[in-house]
Chain A
Amino acid sequence: MAVKIITDSLSDITGDLVKKLRINVVPLYVRFGEEVYRDRIEMTTDEFYRRLVTDTVFPSTTQPTPHDFLAIYQELAKETDEILVITLSSQLSGTYQSALQAKNLLEGKCRIEIVDSQTAGMGLGLIVISTVEAARKGASLGELVDFVQRAMGRSHLIAYFDTLKYLAKGGRIGKAQGFVGSVLSFKPILTIKDGVMSPVTRLRSRAAGIDYLYNSVANYPDIEALAVEHCTTPDDAEALIERLGSFFPRERIYQSTISPVVGAHAGPGALAITVLEAEKA
């Protein structure tokens, strides 16, 4: 029986890709005041970003409940006895905790392993995609846990933000706090390191920021997978993919939109690339 794989909606794996990979994606929640929405299910990404800019209420985000995970565990337990859950960084969200709690609530003999990916967005997404492939090749649950942990070291997410306003307001600024409060305006480049937002560098303009993303891919000689995602600027994402096409097959670059849950902190205009380095033989 094949190992079933579950991730959360912050993996930015959506739509047809979910079906193709045959995985389950547990949504987090977005809250505007008293209105609560399931990420990407009850509120579209477009709708969310429109409201993020225009709404007076600042959205907050919440992890899935243990019950959300339990329902999926129970469903999957009918067809498998091994489940692997890969969540976003436990330092950015309580999703990992919910997944763990649900495991304790599940009765029966289904084995469940839960891994904290220490990243988010396509940083997590590419780990999941790579793991699905390993599972298809017949890796056992134990082997897959090892595989994920190695993949975490190969996954590098580099993000460009138009503003740090939302990140600071949402309290997830992490080690990038030193970037806040500058007298001079700049565009930050951030990454997720050891599970928390961390500063990389600063550029003076959006164009220079996007150039930085492009150039940073060149630092990796051997790339297994590449992803580009955006919040509200599909044209910029498209142009970046076009440029990246010069050294990585264009059609193999994953394109996605940044989940509203992350977008609430990243703000409109953010772009991110993720490089999954190839595993060294």
Chain B
Amino acid sequence: MKQVNSLGGQDLREMFVAAAGWLEKSSSEIDALNVFPVPDGDTGTNMLLTMRSLVEEAYRAPDHSAAAVAQAMAKGALLGARGNSGVILSQILRGLAQGLTEKETFTAVELASALQQSAATAYSGLSNPVEGTILTVIKDVAAAVQAQVSGGGDDLVLLMEAAVDAAGESVGNTPNLLQVLREAGVVDAGGQGLYTILEGALRYLRGEVEQMRFRKPQIIVGNVHATKLPEMIAADEDPYGYCTEFLLKGEKIDTDRIKKKLEKKGESLIVVGDEAAVRIHVHTLDPGEVLTYAADRGTMHQVSIRNMDEQHQDYLEMQKEKTPAVNIGIIAVVVGEGLTEVFTSLGASAVVPGGQTMNPSTKDLLQAVERVVSDKIIMLPNNKNIMATANQVQSLTEKTIAVVPTITIPQGVAALLAFDYEVNLETNTQLMQKAASVVKSIEITRAARATQLGGLEIKKKQPIGFLDGDLVAVADSTDDVLDQVLVRLDLGKAEVVTIYGGADIEADEVEQMGSGLREKYPQLQIEVIQGGQPHYDYIVSVE
């Protein structure tokens, strides 16, 4: 591919034209990702409308210099900005235009430095910048392109490739930075939008305009899994109020003062622009107050007030339609943060807290059944004492319930893993039951009192070990208990041993037990997980 050392205004404009077209192809998918700051499902659309306004203005640039085109695009973005991400996008453009001031054309080094300006300007417009959003993505992009030119890279195509790669990584990482994304199992919508825009621009530079017609942008897959159902996200929060947006035109407008004043009026405040035109975006319960204040400072244009609670309802509807047609839902009874994550990350539709000494009620299980979208449900009780409760649920609901009689956590995990997406409820119940019956479960706890049981003399608080629910070992240390249980098993046929450490066990203790086993049984694959379960210091599965 030929190297591109400098670009002019026309190329800059065409990059954004291509980017807008590219964004259009996935704007509805980006809408569906939108959970922050308000799950109202309009980020993709808002960014697209901002891009369109930007492109339109780009054609009105007085000449073909990079500076003039960038300036026009920044103006177009400011005038047409919609929503949080749209306004931040307009800030990114504003920074870019500042960085390209007086440039007829620009090089990789100049673009890298303009993107630094973009990142700085994006942050400055917000009174309360939040990481794990489009802001983090533009910051990471700026850092990556800077590193690229510092390394002597002067090809603009390679520079944009570095930008797109960094944006992709950064978007993938947003769930690790922002809890609401993590819970919803999605990446940040605004960040995804920016990634798509950069990718569209890169594809233009690579000369792939023709191919773009037949392809679609990809949505970055985060490395997280939803732990909450859509309707649970921010469900118990205060009302969202009204998303209030307008353009304020006047003379000598003091953006800082407006920002300070409006900060107390609502959330997600953005005030950006210059002395002559300022775009204001705020989520407020009382839009009237904001408008009255602004009316004294200039003329208002493009006033838009949207009821976000209503939008949130629409969003929930949209999520329902989008939810993959899983016709079988799985509900597991699990306690412990780590174990809950194991089950949700393996695709359990809902987890009901419960286990040894804390059995959920029939009502708890029924509620979970009604909440899960599927009409067919498989339940994993994971405890002997919960089996009867689970079996009762069928008589209380119209949904079809199958209980796979798992009596330990390892059995539950084995059953869940064996779920087959290609077969029906009945066959799945059989497959899962079979998988559960093959796994060996070891549970280690401490004796509640001194007793004699199964021929074993047990002192109070002494570690004791159960194999598939039967008490088989007692010793002075948990390690010895585990050894005693393991020798009863035919480990020659085993492949994987998983150790789940309990709530009272430190992470390094669990790790130590893992390394001990690895040394002793080098042929086995040993996996260690901080399960966080109460009652059992260790739960171990042997498969």
Contacts and interface: CB of A to CB of B under 8 A. Distances in A.
Interface of A: 33-34, 36, 62-63, 94, 97-98, 168, 171, 173, 175, 177-186, 191, 193, 198-205, 207-208
B525 to A, nearest CB: 7
Interface string B203-236: 0000000010011001111111100000000000
A187 B397 CA distance: 35
B422 A200 contact: yes
Interface string B397-423: 000000000000000010001111110
Contact of B224 (A63, A181, A200): A181
B495 A180 contact: no
Nearest to A173: B221
Contacts of A186: 346, 417
Contact of A97 (B214, B338, B419): B214
Which interface residue of B342, B417, B543 has the most chain A CB atoms within 10 A?
B417
B487 interface: no
Given A97-B214, A183-B346, 16 more contacts: A34-B1, A63-B214, A168-B223, A171-B220, A171-B221, A178-B324, A181-B345, A182-B225, A182-B345, A186-B417, A200-B421, A201-B418, A201-B419, A202-B346, A202-B418, A205-B496
A202 B496 CA distance: 14
28 contacts: A33-B161, A62-B211, A94-B214, A171-B218, A171-B220, A181-B185, A181-B223, A181-B224, A181-B345, A182-B225, A183-B338, A183-B342, A183-B345, A183-B529, A184-B342, A184-B345, A184-B413, A191-B422, A200-B420, A200-B422, A201-B417, A201-B431, A202-B419, A203-B417, A204-B417, A204-B495, A204-B496, A205-B495
B77 to A, nearest CB: 28
A94 B211 CA distance: 8
B527 interface: yes
Contacts of A175: 324
A180 B498 contact: no
Which interface residue of A179, A191, A193 has the most chain B CB atoms within 10 A?
A179
Contacts of A181: 185, 222-225, 345
Contacts of A171: 218-221
Contact of B221 (A180, A182, A203): A180
B347 interface: yes
A97 B213 CA distance: 10
Interface string B341-352: 110011100000
A106 B421 CA distance: 43
| 7 closest residue pairs by CB, A with B | A171-B218, A181-B225, A97-B214, A94-B214, A205-B495, A182-B345, A204-B496
A193 B420 CA distance: 14
A152 to B, nearest CB: 17
B341 A183 contact: yes
Nearest to A34: B1
A182 B346 contact: yes
Contacts, number: 84
B5 to A, nearest CB: 15
A201 B341 contact: no
Interface of B: 1, 158, 161, 185, 211, 214-215, 218-225, 324, 338, 341-342, 345-347, 413, 417-422, 431, 495-496, 498, 525, 527, 529, 543
A203 B413 CA distance: 11
A184 B418 contact: no
Contacts of B224: 181
A177 B225 CA distance: 9
Contacts of A180: 221, 223, 225
B256 to A, nearest CB: 42
Contacts of B543: 204-205
Nearest to B422: A200
Contacts of B498: 184
Which interface residue of B220, B345, B418, B529 has the most chain A CB atoms within 10 A?
B345
Nearest to B165: A58
Contacts of B220: 171
Nearest to B326: A178
A203 B342 CA distance: 15
B211 A177 contact: no
Nearest to B419: A201
Contacts of B347: 178-179
Contact of B527 (A179, A185, A193, A202): A185
A257 to B, nearest CB: 26
B525 A184 contact: no
Contacts of B161: 33
Contact of A208 (B324, B495, B527): B495
B138 to A, nearest CB: 22
A197 B76 CA distance: 41
Which interface residue of A178, A183, A199 has the most chain B CB atoms within 10 A?
A183
A157 to B, nearest CB: 12
A63 B210 CA distance: 12
A177 B220 CA distance: 11
Nearest to B428: A201
Given A94-B211, A183-B338, A205 B345 contact: no
Nearest to B211: A94
A204 B413 CA distance: 11
Contacts of A204: 417, 495-496, 543
Contacts of A33: 161
Contacts of A185: 527
A205 B493 CA distance: 12
Nearest to B531: A183
A18 B222 CA distance: 40
Contacts of A63: 211, 214
A205 B439 CA distance: 13
Contacts of A62: 211
Nearest to A182: B345
Contact of A201 (B223, B342, B421, B527): B421
A207 B421 contact: no
A198 B496 contact: no
A36 B421 CA distance: 37
A200 B498 CA distance: 23
Contacts of B222: 181
A253 to B, nearest CB: 23
A204 B496 CA distance: 7
A98 B498 CA distance: 49
A175 B325 CA distance: 10
Contacts of A191: 422
Contacts of B496: 204-205
B525 A205 contact: yes
Contacts of A97: 214
Contacts of A177: 221
Nearest to A184: B342
A168 B221 contact: yes
A246 to B, nearest CB: 22
Contacts of B419: 201-202
